[in-house]
Structure 1
Amino acid sequence: MYHLKAMIAAAVIGAASWSAPLHAETPQNMLVVGFSMNNILTLDPAAITGKETVQVLANIYDNLVSLDPANRSEVTPQLAEGWVVSDDKSKITFTLRDGATFASGHPVTSEDVVWSLKRLMSLNLAQASFLKTHGFSADKADASFTAPDAKTVVITLPKKVDPELIIMTLGIVGPGSIYDSKTVLENEKSGDKGAAWLTTHSAGSGPFVLSEWRSNERVVLDRNDNYWGDKPAMRRIIMRHLAESQSQRLMLEKGDIDIAFSMSAADLKSLESNKDVRIETIGGSGFYYLAVSMKDEKFKNPKVREALRYLIDYEGLDKTVLPYFGKLRDRPIASGIFGAAPNAGYKLDVTKAKTLLAEAGYPDGFSTTLRGISDAPFLNLATALQATLAQAGIRAEVITGSGDQIYGAMRERNFELLVGRGGGGQLPHPDSNLRAIAYNPNNSDEAKLTNFQGWRTSFFDEKLNSMIDAAQVEGDKTIQTKLYGDIQKYYADVVPAIQPFSEVVDTVGVRADIKGLALNPSWSTQLRTVTKGR
């Protein structure tokens, strides 16, 4: 038995061995996960974008607080054992737990927390936008983040904002991730605050440490023996880049992997009757959407954008492409969140779209490009959209590729059409969706507000920004709910650059004997609780 497990471990770790016809269970103390790594570009929490990187880093870094996977409205302690909001709601005081250490063995102190938050703001990378939108900035960081003693962190709000939103934000992997400042600074080069080193290394206090990352191949996490919490059952987690859904399905069926995070609807459906596998689905974060670049002259015209709205087969995509991935939704606030309006009821209407295109000066349509990641379900979504666009004379060349190629072009504001996934929702508050998908406080190229999809699409509406700001700070819940209803109506009327057609749900395939897996709608699924019943 020992020799068999050793052979399996070797097969798991060796890149070339994955095609071998081995049919056996993974080792008892090793968890093997299959998913696509096309969108993993860095492992520095401050610089990340996309769901897949969060799934890795949630197991390496701790935050002050965490977002409960079952009750999304609940914030639970992590590195902070408790917190207090001042009576005037201008300060949040966190008290750190005793005994927490980083993987290096260094104790977690308030200085580390403050350094991590100041680093986030000073480097001004993608994840800084979560706090920047609420008035935090590099030049205000000294006043915003203070450490009166080794166990106390005080966050002073730079402008009026709901403190609960800030607390929730600090539970997100990225803006709330806490670094071992000593270890990072030991690896600093030319004043980069460890940015180059953290691309491929880790400095967290979570249950696992980064052992290896080979881009588009694998990530290996080893158990952190200095972890302050309950010891994880798994000695090692191996995350494999398996871009093909069928490969994930076959390996899950044979027991070569324990969890498959990114399979197609067809492969998930085929596993429903397999007694050795179970399918788990939970509400996710964000939307699937069709985005346009307002830098493109064609798409500046609201009639063209409105025509595109009627060239999406909402019901068809929901029934054929998005089972297990999404649920029909055409509003910018997720269903189930307070203030969410009912669906507008948009439908595929080619005749109406052709009329709008003719009124815009494009009676014969036009040629364009449509970008989408080559993973499920994006490629199928892009192909389906290409077909419905063609019915109105829009000839869209589909461009597929990795996350860097597709979302990289969007972050550079250098695209025409794009089918994507995003739009916030990691926090159970309407503001989380609207800040991500519609808000754009500075439309200049120099602003580089890459974590705002509104900025990426060059969509700017000052009135919409003001409406979002006003609703967020409204203290009367009844009035606040009405304000969010007004925002959704206005968003529809201006015909924005991003049209949602489905809200994300997350579905994974899991070996039946895996226990303790608690999928998190905010993507930060903790694998430290996983055990194997074998």
Structure 2
Amino acid sequence: MKTPFSTLHMSLMAAVLALAPMTAVNAKTPSDQLIVGMSMVNLFSIDPANAPGLDASGVNANLYDTLIKRDNNNPEKHLPQLAERWDISEDGKQLTFHLRQDVKFHSGNPLTAEDVAWSLYRVMKLNYGLATTWKAYGYNVENIQGLIRATDTHTLVIDLPQVMDPLLLVDSLAISPSAVVVDRKTVLAHENNGDLGAAWLVTNEAGSGPFVLTKWSANDSLLLTRFEGYWAGAAKLKRVVVRHMTESQSLRLMLERGDLDLAYGMAAPDIRAIDGSDKLQVQSLQRGTMYYVAMSMKQAEFAKPKVREAVRNLIDYKGLDQQVMPYYGTLNQQPMQLGLEARLPDPGYHMDVPKAKALLAEAGYPDGFTTTIRTLSEPPFIDIAARLQSTLAEGGIKANIVTGTGNQVYGAMRARNFEIIVARGAERYPHPYFSLRTFAYNPDNSDDAGLPNFQGWRAAFFNPQLNALIDKAGQERDSAQRLGLYHQAQEIYDAQVGPIMMISQMTDTVVSAADVKGFDGDDALATRYLGVHKQR
């Protein structure tokens, strides 16, 4: 739903978005608005069925609601949101959610269990990458309406189509970008040629969250306006204005001048320069996503394990961690998040040029070869790529860097049309099962399988033994047995020289004005601005 601008609103928006003169000092943003600076190059769709990126998740967390949510202080604990309570049957095969009865969408339509069921059906019917989450549990477009259904206006019943730990599904309902609830009536009113509103929802919303999308200009600005009828109470801020900014120095300058309240994506040198300021505050948020170097096994060179191992020996893990990744990430060489009991220690990969050259010679490339590295042009991606280009050259691999927008870079990977890519994985669940499914699992290696949510499929990595282990771990109810399976899976991925090589686990550093209060970063970059306010 879009709110029409009055002349006053247009004037205010123009004032907010205009840069203050360079001579201005001690500027202040409006007390009832949050002005945010961040790169929006990866924000190309906010359709919950087709918006897997972190930036889209951050926007949608303020436009939509989920049945339940995770407790930020205890990721193994789930809290009520649209569902007041839920039950799991004794045999673990059925979940029943009892919904609040006072929730309205931004359109004014009441939110019902039918909207919840239809939202998940829509994800499966459209069959974009985010449908992979639900396919993994055995759902498909033919069975989902029978298995996920409203039994009355405020009761949703979910049957599991296969043997699995039901808490995995609970976790997905709490945190998956595709688990938000959309206004079925509003979306269908904008349907075009049976697309279930897909074209309209790219740049519009139909949610029940604390904010309404008022305006979005791609790679320019985005305006969220407080939803006065929000079931949990209206947000403290009247508006959130997001400005597209890619230059770290510009973000720093505008924070220091008071033209911005909060900034994402600042470069390490600029963060270091202001860390400790009494006018600004720095918050480091541990994320579940991984920075990685990936090779496509569809390429003849990278199909060979010795070549992949050579590349692994040409990544300067220590140098990247110490010189490039501060404020961006923490060293992690496993396809599993830090802090998990099931995670094995880092295997200790390090630069070894002589070994890399020997491996390349054994693989039939004594003089190396030429390849490309795709990446975003912003830090730390471009910095990782530049360092990788240099260290690969030491081993004889000549790599050209190709930069592009998020859609171009990740689109090439989703289409399995790349050689090397420096990217950031979209895994956000702090759970070993989800980590391994994201990076090491691939149930069907054919090009037409359409499994872009599996990074393993994108890189054409296929190992039936590993697939079976991960499947078994997702069904195992005995904790000791499950732990052993996760350990085996990591050992196999290491021995097979998996083509997706983790280098760092994301740390999202957010810088804000000292008077911004109530900002509590979420581990899935789904931070809500509901309780954010300014103390002036």
Give the TM bin, normalised by the shorter chain.
over 0.9
Post-superposition shift, 1:105? 1.0
Determine the structure 1 residue equivalent to 2:5. none
- The one of 512, 525, 528 equivalent to 1:526 is 528
Is 1:212 equivalent to 2:212 in the alignment? no
Preserved CA contact (<8 Å) 1:513 1:533: yes
- The one of 76, 81, 85 equivalent to 2:84 is 81
Is 1:93 equivalent to 2:96 in the alignment? yes
> CA offsets per residue over residues 473-510 of structure 1, 9 Å max, x none?
11111111111111111110001110101111221111
Post-superposition shift, 1:121? 0.7
- Compute the RMSD of aligned alpha carbons: 1.5
Distance in 1 separating the partners of 2:528 and 2:224? 13
Distance in 2 separating the partners of 1:373 and 1:257? 24
Using a 3 Å threshold, how does the CA distance of structure 1 residues 204 and 6 change in structure 2: closer, same or farther?
A: closer
Post-superposition shift, 1:13? 3.4
Is 1:183 equivalent to 2:186 in the alignment? yes
SS in 2 for 1:298: coil
> CA offsets per residue over residues 510-529 of structure 1, 9 Å max, x none?
11111100100111111111
Is 1:11 equivalent to 2:15 in the alignment? yes
Post-superposition shift, 1:22? 4.6
Determine the structure 1 residue equivalent to 2:6. none
Pairing 1:261-280 to 2, within 5 Å after superposition: 261-280=264-283
SS in 1 for 2:327: coil
SS in 2 for 1:263: coil
> CA offsets per residue over residues 46-82 of structure 1, 9 Å max, x none?
1012211111111001000112222222211110011
Using a 3 Å threshold, how does the CA distance of structure 1 residues 290 and 19 change in structure 2: closer, same or farther?
A: farther
Is 1:169 equivalent to 2:175 in the alignment? no
Preserved CA contact (<8 Å) 1:280 1:508: yes
Determine the structure 1 residue equivalent to 2:310. 307
Preserved CA contact (<8 Å) 1:423 1:437: no
Pairing 1:211-250 to 2, within 5 Å after superposition: 211-250=214-253
Determine the structure 1 residue equivalent to 2:254. 251
Using a 3 Å threshold, how does the CA distance of structure 1 residues 27 and 173 change in structure 2: closer, same or farther?
A: farther
Tell me the amino acid that sits aligned with residue 445 of structure 1.
D
Determine the structure 2 residue equivalent to 1:514. 516
Distance in 1 separating the partners of 2:351 and 2:88? 48
Post-superposition shift, 1:19? 7.2
Which one is further off, 172-181 or 390-399?
172-181
Determine the structure 1 residue equivalent to 2:65. 62
Question: Normalized against structure 2, the TM-score is what?
Answer: 0.96
Determine the structure 2 residue equivalent to 1:343. 346
> CA offsets per residue over residues 391-416 of structure 1, 9 Å max, x none?
00111101112101111111111110
Distance in 1 separating the partners of 2:280 and 2:20? 20
> CA offsets per residue over residues 147-191 of structure 1, 9 Å max, x none?
110010001111111111101101125221100001111111111
> CA offsets per residue over residues 244-287 of structure 1, 9 Å max, x none?
11111111111111111111111111111321111111210121
Is 1:382 equivalent to 2:389 in the alignment? no
Distance in 2 separating the partners of 1:525 and 1:455? 29
Preserved CA contact (<8 Å) 2:265 2:508: no
Tell me the amino acid that sits aligned with residue 478 of structure 2.
D
Distance in 1 separating the partners of 2:413 and 2:116? 32
Pairing 1:395-410 to 2, within 5 Å after superposition: 395-410=398-413
Distance in 2 separating the partners of 1:185 and 1:64? 21
Determine the structure 2 residue equivalent to 1:290. 293
Is 1:330 equivalent to 2:299 in the alignment? no
Question: Normalized against structure 1, the TM-score is what?
Answer: 0.96
Post-superposition shift, 1:9? 5.1
Is 1:353 equivalent to 2:359 in the alignment? no
SS in 1 for 2:133: helix
Distance in 2 separating the partners of 1:18 and 1:293? 47
Tell me the amino acid that sits aligned with residue 526 of structure 1.
R
Preserved CA contact (<8 Å) 2:433 2:470: yes
Post-superposition shift, 1:8? 7.2
SS in 2 for 1:299: coil
Preserved CA contact (<8 Å) 1:173 1:524: no
Determine the structure 2 residue equivalent to 1:131. 134
Distance in 2 separating the partners of 1:360 and 1:116? 49
Which one is further off, 295-304 or 501-510?
501-510
SS in 1 for 2:74: coil
SS in 1 for 2:321: helix
Post-superposition shift, 1:18? 6.6
Post-superposition shift, 1:99? 0.3
Which one is further off, 18-27 or 165-174?
18-27
Preserved CA contact (<8 Å) 2:17 2:243: no
Tell me the amino acid that sits aligned with residue 468 of structure 1.
I
> CA offsets per residue over residues 4-44 of structure 1, 9 Å max, x none?
x9987533235xx4776554111011111111111111110
Preserved CA contact (<8 Å) 2:288 2:430: no
Preserved CA contact (<8 Å) 1:441 1:465: yes
Determine the structure 2 residue equivalent to 1:431. 433
Distance in 2 separating the partners of 1:432 and 1:523? 17
Using a 3 Å threshold, how does the CA distance of structure 1 residues 244 and 158 change in structure 2: closer, same or farther?
A: same
Post-superposition shift, 1:444? 1.3
Distance in 1 separating the partners of 2:15 and 2:348? 50
> CA offsets per residue over residues 226-257 of structure 1, 9 Å max, x none?
21112101111111110111111111111111
Distance in 1 separating the partners of 2:55 and 2:459? 22
SS in 1 for 2:390: helix
SS in 2 for 1:481: helix
Distance in 1 separating the partners of 2:172 and 2:23? 45
- The one of 184, 191, 194 equivalent to 2:197 is 194
Determine the structure 2 residue equivalent to 1:449. 451
Aligned residues: 527
- Identity between Structure 1 and Structure 2 (%): 45
Please, which runs of 5 or more residues in structure 2 have no aligned partner? Answer: 1-8
Distance in 1 separating the partners of 2:176 and 2:533? 23
SS in 1 for 2:175: coil
Determine the structure 1 residue equivalent to 2:3. none
Tell me the amino acid that sits aligned with residue 214 of structure 1.
S
Distance in 2 separating the partners of 1:411 and 1:21? 46
Distance in 2 separating the partners of 1:387 and 1:494? 25
Preserved CA contact (<8 Å) 1:288 1:500: yes
Determine the structure 2 residue equivalent to 1:321. 324
Distance in 1 separating the partners of 2:533 and 2:176? 23
Determine the structure 2 residue equivalent to 1:469. 471
Is 1:38 equivalent to 2:44 in the alignment? no
Which one is further off, 168-177 or 358-367?
168-177
> CA offsets per residue over residues 287-332 of structure 1, 9 Å max, x none?
1111001111010000000001111111110001100111111111
> CA offsets per residue over residues 177-219 of structure 1, 9 Å max, x none?
1000011111111111000110111000000011111111111
